[in-house]
Amino acid sequence: MPYSLFQRVVQKSQTALLPAKTQTVLGLFILIFTSLSSATENPDLTVYTHPSFAAEWGPGPAVKTAFEQRCDCQLNYVVLDSGGDILQRLRLEGTSSSADLVLGLDTGTMELARATGLLAPHNVNLDALNLPILWQDPLFVPYDWGHFAFVYDTEQLANPPTNLAELIAAPDDLKIIIQDPRTSTPGLGLLLWMRHVYGDDAGAKWEQLQKKILTTTKSWSDGYFSLFMNGEAPMILSYSTSPAYHMAIDKTERYQAAAFSEGHYLQVEVAAVVASSPHKALAREFLDFMLSADFQRHIPLKNVMYPAIDLGAELPDVFNRLIQPSRTLFFDPAEVAQHRREWVDEWLEAMTR
């Protein structure tokens, strides 16, 4: 019942000079009603995510505006440093988490998130998905994807390596920047890429590659913007889609991704509903929205990844000028979870020799 109608009821009651006890009961009823109304109107939906999504230049602000126009709610981002930090925060808070959704986990971390038991089934129709792999997961909904690649500065490096073997065998004065697999999803991606190509020989290959690593940064942005874009090294671990940003926004083809003949490792970024959320229906509404063009059109140039659905003519033309991996490399996420610590330890041992 609209609050204005209650006002008329009160006025009529006062005019009729109801007994004091009746007026008290009616007033209490109105107080309870208005309290419940304020609790249900414009609910807050809290999303744990990372800086590249929520930043002013990322898709987050446009997504917030578009979703709030349809949900009659307030969408709030809690920004954590990385997908790993999102997972750690979720673990620490447990069933007391203030998050309704987590957005920014990926195929390298999702099994660890699943094992917490803190996520709920999404119940979303996934028919619209357009990924290089089949996706039927009941907890995680993809919102973008891409392949890891080494991006190089054409003004510093005219002839980049054409596969991992050439990179590993290159002269030691060829310097590259990579990210730490313990804190960075691209860093973990390279770890899995090396393991997929070299298997049990990956440790030895890391020892050879170590001589070419200028530095290992905690996050992708630390290495890309602070070091690579300032000319500190001619190559950096990034994504095959990174040149799209430079071509579309910076209007330059200076930065390109090297196509490696072994193939490139796939990353799929995902979102999930938090089981303890009091707004699970609204969270699922957001996930449905996430697979719509109103969300996905903001992914290519603001998250610089491929959209999770087919945008057709809305996909920026620069994406048609990117390298196309000859093969998609991918481990089942359950296998990654099983061997992750072992493979990270192998990497650490090689890096410290």
pLDDT by residue (tens digit) across 114-170?
999 999 999 999 999 999 999 999 999 999 999 999 999 999 999 999 999 999 999
Transcribe 14-59 into DSSP letters. Answer: HHTT--HHHHHHHHHHHHHHHHHHHHHSS-EEEEEE-HHHHSTTSS
Per-residue model confidence as pLDDT tens digits over 22-40: 455 445 554 444 444 444 5
Cα–Cα distance measured from residue 253 to residue 242, given in angstroms and rounded to the nearest whole number: 11
User: What percentage of the chain reaches a pLDDT higher than 70?
Assistant: 88
Per-residue model confidence as pLDDT tens digits over 206-227: 999 999 999 999 888 899 999 9
Residue 81's Cβ-count burial label (10 Å; 0-12, 13-18, 19+) is middle
Confidence of residue 19 (pLDDT cuts 50, 70, 90): low
176: helix, strand or coil = strand
111 close to 270: Cβ distance less than 8 angstroms:
no
213 - beta bridge partners?
176
User: What percentage of the chain reaches a pLDDT higher than 90?
Assistant: 83
**pTM, whole model, 2 decimals?**
0.86
- Per-residue pLDDT at 16 exceeds 60: no
**Nearest alpha-carbon partner for 264 in 164, 178, 187:** 164
Per-residue model confidence as pLDDT tens digits over 54-103: 999 999 999 999 999 999 999 999 999 888 889 999 999 999 999 999 99
Q: What is the pLDDT, as a whole number, of residue 42?
A: 81
Transcribe 177-200 into DSSP letters. Answer: EEE-TTT-HHHHHHHHHHHHHHGG
CATH of domain 44-145+268-321: 3.40.190.10
Amino acid at 256: Q
Q: What is the pLDDT, as a whole number, of residue 81?
A: 84
Superfamily of domain 146-266+325-351: Periplasmic binding protein-like II (3.40.190.10)
Cα–Cα distance measured from residue 87 to residue 299, given in angstroms and rounded to the nearest whole number: 22
Cα–Cα distance measured from residue 42 to residue 39, given in angstroms and rounded to the nearest whole number: 8
Instruction: For the beta carbon of residue 326, count every other beta carbon within 10 angstroms.
Output: 11
- Per-residue pLDDT at 329 exceeds 90: yes
- Per-residue pLDDT at 10 exceeds 80: no
Cα–Cα distance measured from residue 29 to residue 16, given in angstroms and rounded to the nearest whole number: 18
- Per-residue pLDDT at 17 exceeds 90: no
